[in-house]
Copies of this chain bind each other. A is one copy, B any other.
Amino acid sequence: MDYNGLYRHIMEKGSYLCVGLDTDTEKIPAHLRSGKEPVFEFNKAIIDATAPYAVAYKPNIAFYEAEGTHGLEQLEKTVAYLGAEYPEMLVIADAKRGDIGNTADRYAKAFFEVMDFGAVTLSPYMGSDAIRPFLRYEGRWSIVLALTSNPSAEEFETLSVCGEPLYQTVIKKTIRFAENEYGSSKDRLMFVVGATRAEEIASVRSCCPEHFLLVPGVGAQGGSLAEVARYGMNSKCGLIVNSSRGIIYASSGKDFAEAAAVKAKEMAAEMRKTLCGIGKI
Please list the residues of chain A having a beta carbon within 8 angstroms of any beta carbon in chain B: 22, 60, 62-63, 65-69, 72-73, 76, 94, 96-107, 109-110, 114-115, 123-130, 145, 148-157, 159-162, 166, 169-170, 173
User: What's the minimum C-beta distance from A25 to chain B, rounded to whole angstroms?
Assistant: 10
Bound-state Cα–Cα, A23 to B44, Å: 34
19 new A-B contacts, CB < 8 A, other than A62-B104, A130-B150, are: A60-B103, A62-B97, A65-B114, A68-B110, A94-B103, A96-B98, A98-B123, A98-B125, A123-B125, A125-B148, A126-B145, A126-B153, A126-B157, A127-B150, A127-B154, A129-B151, A129-B152, A159-B166, A160-B162
Q: What are 30 pairs between A and B in contact, CB < 8 Å?
A: A60-B106, A62-B107, A63-B106, A65-B107, A68-B115, A72-B72, A96-B97, A96-B98, A98-B125, A100-B149, A101-B150, A124-B125, A125-B148, A126-B145, A126-B148, A126-B150, A126-B157, A127-B152, A127-B153, A127-B156, A128-B152, A128-B155, A129-B152, A155-B173, A156-B166, A156-B169, A156-B173, A159-B162, A159-B169, A161-B161
Contact B69 A110 (CB under 8 A): no
Bound-state Cα–Cα, A97 to B65, Å: 12
Whose C-beta in chain B lies nearest to the C-beta of A100?
Answer: B150
Which of B67, B106, B123, B173 contacts A114, CB < 8 Å? B67
Which of B104, B127, B173 contacts A157, CB < 8 Å? B127
Contact A69 B73 (CB under 8 A): yes
Bound-state Cα–Cα, A98 to B150, Å: 12
Residues of B within 8 A of A127 (CB): 150-157
Contact B124 A65 (CB under 8 A): no
Residues of B within 8 A of A156 (CB): 124-127, 166, 169-170, 173
User: What's the minimum C-beta distance from A116 to chain B, rounded to whole angstroms?
Assistant: 12
Residues of B within 8 A of A148 (CB): 100, 125-126
Contact A62 B155 (CB under 8 A): no
Contact A166 B161 (CB under 8 A): yes
Residues of B within 8 A of A97 (CB): 62, 96
Bound-state Cα–Cα, A96 to B155, Å: 18
Bound-state Cα–Cα, A30 to B127, Å: 35
Contact B66 A106 (CB under 8 A): yes
Residues of B within 8 A of A152 (CB): 126-130
Residues of B within 8 A of A60 (CB): 103, 106
Which of B66, B69, B173 contacts A72, CB < 8 Å? B69
Residues of B within 8 A of A155 (CB): 127-128, 173
A65, A125, A129: most-surrounded residue (chain B CB, <10 A): A125
